[in-house]
Amino acid sequence: MKKFNQVLYGGDYNPNQWSKDIWQEDQAFFKKANINSTTINVFSWAKLQPSEAVYDFSELDEIIATLAKDEKEIVLATSTSALPAWMFKHYPEVGRVDFEGRRHRFGQRHNACPNSRVYQHYVKELVSRLAQRYGQQPQVSIWHVNNEYGGECYCENCEKAFRVWLQEKYGTIEALNKAWNLEFWGHTVYSWDEIVVPNVLGDAMDQRNTAFAGLSIDYRRFMSDSMLENYKLERDTIRQYDQETPITTNLMGTYKNLDYFKWAKEMDLVSWDNYPSFDTPWSMVAMTHDLMRGLKHQPFMLMEQTPSQQNWQPYNSLKKPGQMRAQSYQTMAHGADTIQFFQLRRSLGGCEKFHGAVIEHVGTTETRVFREVAQLGEELTQLSEIIGTKNVAKVGLVFDWDTYWALEYTSGPNQDLYYVDQIHHYYRYFYERNIAVEMVAPTDDFSEFELVVAPVCYMVKEGVKEAIEQFVQAGGTFVTTFMSGIVDQSDNVHLGGYPGPFRKLAGIWVEEIDALAPSQENTIQLNDGTQGKSTLLADIIHLETAESLGEYTSNFYQGQPVATKNTYGKGQVYYVGTQLDADSLATILDQAVDVDTLSTCLATKLEVTKRHSDSSEYTFVMNFTHTAEDLPAQFVGQLDILTGQEVNAETKVEPYDTFVFKRNLS
């Protein structure tokens, strides 16, 4: 399989939207910015197949020839995410039906029904032609299948396919009735064709909750699988003609609808599109990179980021001077081997004309954005040695799409409970202490970790309890929280007292779960005297074998434990029974975490993140604060490989400054 031998630097490029003289200008500009790759053919289906029986690759041939002449590497997309008008006209079934039951028409993108045989047929026809024609081109470095798979469809084809999926999963209708607990409200079904897909006029209670979460969760699994089948159809078609080029599709971080752990198993490389908002914390961006790396526990590609601004957020602020550079290095620090933009030339019309690009509407290289892109391009030419290096972590943070779905479908106890925010609340503790984290699926191997953290580990599927018990038994530390161990894979409660399968591990019984409205909070006091706040949800905990780490000091459950610690085998289990303020949480986690050994750099506000090869260690030091910070003493005298300068004790790290230090490990 082909491998990258330089940091791919470039991004989405749509020469087909421009005249030929612009193509020439683009090539000259790319050279100036050290852009070495382009992602092409993302949205060209209507050009490649102007009508049902006609294929025309002449323009794409010409684009590829132009890029090849300039020795550009090519990320070749398959164009299957925006359908030609003729397909909608002749086969309206290719359009999705939404949760409201409305059939969508030609106009948008990412709108094909994944279970439409017509769509699948034309996808296969197009992709086999592309793979046959371009699969052997040496400059094609990677295939980019479709674009940002996502959304959902509730059409009659999907309904039929869902019934088949259910039959394969459950075997009998009795097993399905039991799994979804359909006795509730007397919803027992007697044949597969009585099953109705989720719908606003069906089992929906509102936009978020449905009457039978078991059904909705299975539908999400089915939709994720359906789109994954679309991906696999393209992948397998490409593989018939090209066995050498890796294949990916661009993911979207913590995007809810697709179970990316399952997807990543089918992908040669993970790639993703990073679009933080003006107020997204840098710790959240870091966590999302770690999640994308964690999908395969391998370096990933940054497929898209904007060099300057976006158009689709409510407030599309500019990236400040230096911000794009710092953001790019943070991306690499967390495991990216490529830096690519959306897009290279800003579009003339359409909804993305206000989306930032390397080449702005003014059409020159004399812009702040271009200069910053060019500077980074030059720096990256020296960083090819980082490709393939690893991030090593002793802390595993559990992320699970099933729980994400189940927790947010649940009706009660508190509508403000959001999965990603809860995970981030814990991630931030490690981020602020420069402790590397590996994001893991609940079924991953934990043996390399000292600590496994599973906040709101709501759905505990088969095998997970045993794996965690084994990990703790052998000396590991496990941290979990309220809303953990509550349901099985079908969203039915693990009976016998919360936290169900974790009860023995945690050595507690949670009798009741109180919900706190935004205007309410409990006060708490930890054993060392720390006073703090409990919000969102509050467990009323009874100690069994655990000890209390602090208590509620208000409400009718004052005096009862708010967090606990239990010894189990050679290990420890911490249970946090409420949403704690950051300082109180830190007081608890400081007891569970060996901060001094695990941190790459303490007592600094700078982000310090490492990647390793067998022979070298690369330390990325970045300032995401608004003030100049001192360079920690441990780096004094080291050589910054970006500038070739040695840093000294007086070196200040200005906001968005980045250094990369290299150290030989031998």
Q: Which residues are part of the catalytic machinery?
A: 148, 304
Residues 108-147 that bind ligand GLA (CB under 6 A): 147
**CA 95, CA 116: separation in Å to the nearest integer?**
9
Rounded to a whole number of angstroms, the minimum distance from the CB of residue 287 to ligand GLA is: 19
Choice from 319, 355, 424, 611 touching ligand GLA (CB under 6 A): 355
**CA 376, CA 326: separation in Å to the nearest integer?**
10
Nearer to ligand GLA, 234 or 402 (CB): 234
Nearer to ligand GLA, 147 or 579 (CB): 147
Nearer to ligand GLA, 81 or 434 (CB): 81
Rounded to a whole number of angstroms, the minimum distance from the CB of residue 309 to ligand GLA is: 10
| 3-state DSSP of 522-577 | EEEEECCCCEEEEEEEEEEEEECCCEEEEEECCCCCCCCEEEEEEEECCEEEEEEC
Rounded to a whole number of angstroms, the minimum distance from the CB of residue 102 to Zn ion is: 12
Site for ligand GLA contains 288 (CB under 6 A): no
- Provide the mask over 309-348, with x wherever binding to ligand GLA is found by CB under 6 A and - wherever it is not: -x-------------------------------x------
Nearer to ligand GLA, 273 or 408 (CB): 273
Rounded to a whole number of angstroms, the minimum distance from the CB of residue 77 to ligand GLA is: 10
Nearer to Zn ion, 112 or 606 (CB): 112
Nearer to ligand GLA, 310 or 522 (CB): 310
Beta bridge pairs of residue 390: 612
Beta bridge pairs of residue 341: 11
Q: Binds 304, which of ligand GLA, Zn ion, none (CB < 5 to 8 A, cut-off by type)?
A: ligand GLA
Residue nearest ligand GLA by beta-carbon distance: 273
Q: Binds 73, which of Zn ion, ligand GLA, none (CB < 5 to 8 A, cut-off by type)?
A: none
**CA 363, CA 497: separation in Å to the nearest integer?**
66
456, 422 contact by CB (below 8 A): yes
Q: Are strands 508-515 and 522-526 parallel, antiparallel or unpaired?
A: unpaired
Rounded to a whole number of angstroms, the minimum distance from the CB of residue 218 to Zn ion is: 16
* Closest alpha carbon to 217 in 420, 403, 15: 403
Using CB under 5 A, list all residues that contact Zn ion.
Answer: 113, 115, 153, 155, 157-158
Q: Binds 258, which of ligand GLA, Zn ion, none (CB < 5 to 8 A, cut-off by type)?
A: none
Q: Total residues contacting ligand GLA (rule CB under 6 A)? A: 9
Q: What is the largest CA-CA distance in the chain?
A: 76
Site for ligand GLA contains 80 (CB under 6 A): no
Rounded to a whole number of angstroms, the minimum distance from the CB of residue 310 to ligand GLA is: 5
Q: Binds 230, which of Zn ion, ligand GLA, none (CB < 5 to 8 A, cut-off by type)?
A: none
Site for ligand GLA contains 379 (CB under 6 A): no
**CA 63, CA 160: separation in Å to the nearest integer?**
42
Site for ligand GLA contains 574 (CB under 6 A): no
Structure tokens at 11: 């991004």
Please report which residue ranges of 397-514 form alpha helices under DSSP H.
Answer: 401-409, 419-432, 464-473, 503-506
| 3-state DSSP of 41-101 | CCCCHHHHCCECCECCCHHHHHHHHHHHHCCCEEEEECCCCCCCHHHHHHCHHHECECCCC
Provide the total of helices (H) and of strands (E) in the chain, helices listed first: 18, 27
**CA 416, CA 403: separation in Å to the nearest integer?**
16
**CA 13, CA 75: separation in Å to the nearest integer?**
10
Q: Are strands 531-543 and 250-251 parallel, antiparallel or unpaired?
A: unpaired
Angle at 286 between CA 410 and CA 265, to 5 degrees: 65
Q: Binds 64, which of Zn ion, ligand GLA, none (CB < 5 to 8 A, cut-off by type)?
A: none
Residues 143-172 that bind ligand GLA (CB under 6 A): 147-148
Rounded to a whole number of angstroms, the minimum distance from the CB of residue 118 to Zn ion is: 11
32, 365 contact by CB (below 8 A): yes
Q: Binds 275, which of Zn ion, ligand GLA, none (CB < 5 to 8 A, cut-off by type)?
A: ligand GLA
Nearer to Zn ion, 155 or 585 (CB): 155
Q: Is 242 exposed, middle or buried (0-12, 13-18, 19+ CB in 10 A)?
A: buried
Choice from 106, 255, 275, 509 touching ligand GLA (CB under 6 A): 275
**CA 544, CA 298: separation in Å to the nearest integer?**
41
Q: Binds 153, which of ligand GLA, Zn ion, none (CB < 5 to 8 A, cut-off by type)?
A: Zn ion
Choice from 242, 273, 379, 488 touching ligand GLA (CB under 6 A): 273
Choice from 26, 93, 234, 304 touching ligand GLA (CB under 6 A): 304
Residue 530: Cβ within 10 Å count: 16
Rounded to a whole number of angstroms, the minimum distance from the CB of residue 149 to ligand GLA is: 10
Nearer to ligand GLA, 140 or 252 (CB): 252
Q: Binds 273, which of Zn ion, ligand GLA, none (CB < 5 to 8 A, cut-off by type)?
A: ligand GLA
Nearer to Zn ion, 227 or 660 (CB): 227
Give 10's contacts (C-beta < 8 A, 6+ positions apart): 30, 35, 36, 37, 38, 39, 72, 73, 75, 340, 341, 344
Token pair 């005096």 in the structure block, residue: 559
30 Cα distance to chain centroid: 29
- Rule CB under 6 A: which residues touch ligand GLA? 147-148, 273, 275, 304, 310, 342, 352, 355
